[in-house]
Amino acid sequence: MTATPLALPTTAVKVSLFRRLLTHPTGVVSLLVLFLVAVASALAPLLATHDPNTASLQDVLAKAGSEHLLGADSAGRDVLSRLLFAGQFSLAGALLALSVALVIGVTAGLIAGYYGGWFDSASSWLTGLTMALPGMVVLLAARAVLGPSMWLSMMIFGVLLSPAFFRLVYASVTAVRNELYVDAARVSGLSDFRIIGRHILTVVRAPVIIQSAMVLGIAIAIQAGLEFLGLGDLNIPTWGSMLNDGFINIFKSPTLVLWPSLMIGLVCIALTLLANAMRDELERSRGPVKKSRKAAAAAAAADAEGAAEKRGAAAVVHPDEPAGAENSNAGELLLEVTDLGVGYDQPDGSTTHVVNHVGLTVRRGEVHGLVGESGSGKTQTAFSILRLLPQGGRITGGSIFFEGKDLAHLSEKEMTRVRGKRIAYIPQEPMSNLDGAFTIGSQLTEPMRVCLGLSKAEARNRALALLAKVGIPNPERTFNAYPHQVSGGMAQRVLIAGAVSCEPDLLIADEPTTALDVTVQAEVLNLLRELQDELNMGVILVTHNFGVVADLCDRVTVMQTGRVVETGPVRAIFNNAQHPYTRQLLDAILEDTAPRGQYTTAGHNPAEKTAEPKELKGVTS
Amino acid sequence: MYRFVLRRLFAGVLLLFVITTVAYLMLYAGGGDIARRIVGPTASDAQVALKASQLGLDRPLVVQYWDWLTSALTGDLGRSWFTGQLVSVGVSSRLSVTVSLVLGAVIIAALISVVIGVWAAVRRGWVDRVVQFVGVLGFAIPGFLIALGLVSLFALNLKWFKATGYVPISTSFGGWAATVTLPIIALSIGCIAAVVQQVRGSLIDALRQDYVRTLRARGLSFNRVVYKHVLRNAGGPALAVLAVQFIGLLGGAVIVEQIFALPGLGQITVAATGQGDIPVVMGVVVATAAIVVTVNLIIDLAQGWLNPKVRLS
């Protein structure tokens, strides 16, 4: 029964909203219903067969028939005629409430949003005040003092509804006020009046129209409610007062209550659906939704996929060095990814492939670098090993053998047992990967209690020990802190502690240092190396940074556009890179080489690519 | 944390004071000659003056207000002008009916909204579209129309429930449940429709957060992450909508009580409004404002519990 302003988009209308509504099915139907009701009400004097207020004793509660098409009410008045005339009053009352709300809400919102200052705080406070009592109770109190005037009630309700517009306009104006084009208008000497009219009203117009439809529905509902209680003006027919009469006589003539209910319900539903249709159209016209970075990268990979397909490029594979050389600590085979494909289902039913025929192996105690630019599919490969692809993504082919089990075909339940305890994950961005609602301690201990079955006290001790181990100076304090109270470097250490807390066999680190300061990066890499040594884990290190690879990795797999282009022991890659893309990545970090050449996509003509050359990041990024 | 609670408490008391002051001034000064209205247009001026002095209406408004406020602080809200009954007794005896209705509706709405909201946000696809569409309908249809529909279908035609009457919860829980089931359903449908939209929306946002993947990568099941972590993060906006809905339900209860003939606050309000019984109306305003302030306080504390940034700032 109260105005619940829904979240509304605040965009300027570019094409006429009305014209676009005509292509929206529910929009058209709602408009048609509202139009018919409005016309029928306006033409009531012509359409009605009886006077709406003339009582007739012999027609009391008359059945529907040729004399009274929809019957007659408890005073013998013609129901159809009353319904038509009531439409006039009910709609006019609701429109009155809407106008009052619009005038107050929009004006106050513009002034408060544009000028700010005391008016701003005062109106925000008043807004809070009008929302603090149920509208119905305020209207009843007002009715006790002012008497049964529908018009007065609707004006007061308009005041109560004005915050719905105030908040909308206020939010839009404060958002626009400091935009550059408004500044420019101000600098070029336009008056405030012109600026508001020209730049700000266009922004709030569409959301205000949508909100108006909602408010109109609410006003009709509350007015009907008030009249239904028998507190309205008895001299004018309204749908609410007809409802009251019908409900009193519900045993004698059940259809009496039906007709006004239908009208109120129909109009309210039509108004709400209309508002929704307008919102749909408005959102659609905002143009293609800005793609998330991952989705954009995925799309880029997919675009390049065609070229890769034509090329049919076989990856350059460097043979393993004789045992006993660099990677002497490498143990038995831990993970074997073969022919992996990852795809995203599109709304049109097709699938966009972002990873194709990728293979890689990780041995126990070995750090395997997965290198490539953004969109090369390295993170998608990592997520599919964890079986944690973003929504819509799925493994389209191949196998992921981990200790004899194919992870690609495990059930979700079995996979949950593998995650954390056997395969762990360190994310890229430390802050967003901690849940801000829980303390660091509870986020560290919860998985330990679930995966290892530890008691609360055991998990706590273990967490404190882990925090100390990852180099956090005051573990107790960090344990009790919330994520927003620690620095990014600290948060990344916490995430590393969490990842190794269940002593996994395989650790997947997704650019674990990218979001950190340069000095912290080195410390975190050292920490990773220490932990890897100590726990003898296999590690997949996703990075775009060959400096990190040189520092940490035993083997490297270079990916481009969703495929493996070169793979082998780190020494072989550094000394004898075969693939042009690998060489390019290497050139980007070596200081004593010639300036890097133009970006190429694996040998095919760079001119085909319309995108600008991508800057490859250097050692420290 | 104590400072947070104290601050919210102070804001609540201040709001209560402001609402009652504004309401008092408007009720007593807004309607012209109150004594004339009570004794009727045919009464002589002397009768009007007598009535005014009987009711203390001949004193300056500020004095009347001070008198009312000091008595109100001791729990005395005056007497009804028409029945002579103590307003505090009349209001408090009916408060439990309304509060049990509204509280029942809010609790049921919260539970159902969470279940449906999670379902729609996690499954998406056709489930989501159906939930959205039904939600729009539930939001659009006025609650009292739903109440009328429920009465005619379940009480008058199917005779599963009694159409009217009320059994206090202290007398018999079963009896109470039977009498309030339909009213609570009628009240909660619109509330569910509004809250589901919010739960669904904030859940979809929260599910996209990075920490969801990280927590799952640590070996927590999807359901555990959703119900413990995601829901808690999505809970703040949903609670805010629930608070707004609660206030709306207090208004909706007035009409629903009338339809089901429940002896709640709504009944006394409608009667007092029709007669112009200002002390009773004022009592209802005080009671409603007190409920609203209490609920807002509880919601604020719940927000602080959900979101440490609110509590610690």
Q: DSSP of A196-243, one letter per residue?
A: IIIIIHHHHHHHHHHHHHHHHHHHHHHHHHHHHTT-S-TTS--HHHHH
- Dist. CA A256–CA A253, nearest whole Å: 6
Using CA atoms, how far apart are residues A310 and A312, in angstroms rounded to an integer?
5
**H helix or E strand, kind and range, residue A362:** strand A351-363
Q: What is the pLDDT of residue A401?
A: 92
User: Which residues of chain A lie closer than 8 angstroms to B81, CB-CB?
Assistant: none
d(CA A423, CA A558): 22
Q: Round to whole Å and give the CA distance between A75 and B77.
A: 41
Asked if residue A290 has pLDDT above 70, the reply is no
Contact B39, B52 (CB under 8 A): no
Check if the beta carbon of residue B251 is closer than 8 Å to that of residue A136: yes
Place of tokens 């408490």: B9
Q: Is the confidence at residue A585, as pLDDT, over 70?
A: yes
In order along its 313 residues, chain B shows pLDDT tens digits of: 678 788 888 888 888 899 888 888 888 876 666 777 777 777 777 777 887 777 777 777 888 888 888 888 888 888 888 888 888 888 888 888 899 899 999 999 999 999 999 999 888 888 888 888 888 888 888 888 888 888 888 877 777 877 777 777 777 788 888 888 889 999 999 899 989 988 998 898 888 889 999 999 998 999 999 988 998 888 888 888 888 889 889 888 888 988 888 888 988 898 888 888 888 989 999 999 999 889 888 888 888 888 887 776 5
What CA–CA distance (Å, rounded) separates B141 from A221? 8
pLDDT at B31: 61
Higher-scoring residue by pLDDT: A207, A303: A207
A360-374+413-598 to CATH, choices 3.90.930.60, 3.40.50.300, 3.20.20.100, 3.30.530.20: 3.40.50.300
Write the DSSP symbol of residue A407: G
d(CA A126, CA A351): 53
Q: Which of B145, B211, B251 sits opposite A432 (nearest CB)?
A: B211
Higher pLDDT, A193 or B238: B238
Nearest partner of A244 among A73, A88, A410, judged by Cα? A73
Q: CA-CA distance, A569 to A555, in Å (whole number)?
A: 4
Give contacts of A232 with chain B, Cβ < 8 Å. Answer: none
pLDDT at B108: 94
Token pair of A612, please?
């600008």
SS (H, E, C) A422-479: CEEEECCCCHHHCCCCCCHHHHHHHHHHHHHCCCHHHHHHHHHHHHHHCCCCCHHHHH
CA nearest neighbour of B8 among B310, B238, B247, B246: B310
Query: Looking at chain A, how many residues does it have?
Result: 621
Of the listed ranges A29-38, A305-314, B148-157, the one predicted with least confidence: A305-314
Longest dimension (CA), chain A: 112
Q: Which residues of B touch A386 (CB under 8 A)?
A: 217
Chain B environment of A427 (Cβ under 8 Å): 210, 213-214
What is the ipTM for the molecules in this complex? 0.86
Q: What is the pLDDT of residues B100-158, one digit of tens each?
A: 899 999 999 999 999 999 999 888 888 888 888 888 888 888 888 888 888 888 877 77
State residue A600's pLDDT score: 52
pLDDT at B139: 83
Q: Given a cut of 80, is residue A305 above it in pLDDT?
A: no
Distance in angstroms (rounded) separating the CA atoms of residues A127 and B62: 26
Burial class (CB in 10 A: 0-12, 13-18, 19+), B170: exposed
Residue A117 token pair: 């200052």
DSSP letter for B156, please.
I
pLDDT at position A540 is: 93
CB contact under 8 A, A429 and B210: yes
Helices (H) and strands (E) in chain A — how many of each? 23, 11
The mean pLDDT of A119-128, rounded to a whole number, is: 79
How would you write A566-598 as a 3-class SS string? EEEEHHHHHHCCCCHHHHHHHHCCCCCCCCCCC
Report the distance separating Cα A46 and Cα A30, nearest Å. Answer: 24
Average pLDDT over residues A216-220: 91
> Do residues B197 and B211 touch, judged by C-beta distance below 8 A?
no
Contact in structure between A244 and A230 (CB atoms under 8 Å)? yes
Contact B248, B74 (CB under 8 A): no
Give strand pairing partners of A358: A340
**Domain limits of chain A?**
88-267, 360-374+413-598
CA gap B152, A253 in Å, rounded: 12
Per-residue burial over A551-561, b = 16 or more CB atoms within 10 Å of its CB, e = otherwise: bbbbbbbbbbb
pLDDT for the residue numbered A204:
81
**Least Cα separation, residue B170 to chain A (angstroms):** 28
- Kindly report, residue by residue over A43-90, the tens digit of the pLDDT: 878 777 777 777 776 766 667 666 766 777 776 778 888 888 888 899
Q: What is the pLDDT of residue A615?
A: 41
Mean pLDDT value across residues A478-487: 91
Closest alpha carbon within chain B to A130 = B19
Contact A371, A543 (CB under 8 A): yes
Max CA distance (Å), chain B: 85
Residue A463 has pLDDT above 90, yes or no: yes
The CATH code that applies to domain A88-267 is: 1.10.3720.10
- Kindly list the distances between the CA atom of residue A230 and the CA atoms of A324, B253, B271, B293, in Å, as whole numbers in the listed order: 95, 16, 10, 29
Contact criterion met (CB < 8 Å) for A436 and B309:
yes
Q: Do A435 and B215 touch (CB under 8 A)?
A: yes
Report d(CA A445, CA A461) in Å as an integer.
Answer: 9
Interface check for A495 against chain B (CB to CB < 8 A): the answer is yes
A516: closest CA among A424, A616, A428?
A428
Token pair in block for residue A22? 């005509």
- Cβ under 8 Å to B: A residues 254-283: 254, 257, 261, 264-265, 268-269, 271-273, 276
- Which residues in chain B have their CB less than 8 angstroms from residue A272's CB? 136, 139-140
Q: How many degrees, rounded to 5, is the angle at CA A361 between CA A367 and CA A511? A: 45
Mean of pLDDT values over A149-160 = 90
Residues of chain B with Cβ-Cβ distance to A495 below 8 Å are: 214
The SS3 of residue A7 is: coil
